[in-house]
Amino acid sequence: MYTEKVMELFMNPKNVGRIEDADGIGEVGNPVCGDVMKIYLKIKDDRIVDVKFETFGCAAAIATSSMVTEMVKGKTLDEALKVTNKDVAEALGGLPPQKLHCSLLAEEGIKAAIEDYLAKRGNDNKKESGEKQCAKA
C-alpha cells in the first residue's frame, strides 16, 4: 500500500518537534480523517533556516509532513510557496489515492505558516515591502 519512502519517513520522521520562538506557525487539519498538522518556521532574510512539525494522523500524514519540511528547508519563501502537494507525493514515490489529501495538508501547512509569518511581519513593521508580500500570500 505505501512506498518504501513513506514507511521510512513514518518510522523515522525528520524535523519532528516544535520551534518555541517560531517566526511562522501554520496549523491545518482534515475533519473527515482527523489528521492535524502544525508546521513551525524559523526565517532569516526571507529564507527558511529551520522547520519542524507536529502531526497527529496516519502514516501518510506523518510522512508527508516530514517530506515537506525537508523540501522547504533552506528555500526562500517564494520557492517554498511553489511546493505543491503533487511535488510532495512524487518525492514520496506516490501515495494511495485515498491518502493524497495528506500531501495537500502538507502543502497547506507550509503556506499557512508562511502566511502567518508575513502577517506578523506586516503588523510588526509597516514597511512597504512587507505589505506587498502580505498581499501576495
Q: Is 33 considered catalytic here? A: yes
Given the residues 19, 33, 58, 100, select the one marked as catalytic: 33
Grid coordinates of 62: 506523518
Among candidate residues 101, 83, 93, the one with its CA nearest the CA of residue 9: 93
Beta-bridged to residue 16, according to DSSP, are 53
51: Cβ–Cβ under 8 A, 6 or more apart, which residues?
Answer: 15, 19, 39, 40, 41, 42, 69, 72, 73
Among candidate residues 110, 109, 102, the one with its CA nearest the CA of residue 76: 110
Given the residues 43, 68, 89, 102, select the one marked as catalytic: 102
Q: Is 58 considered catalytic here? A: no
d(CA 6, CA 96): 11
Catalytic residue numbers read 33, 102
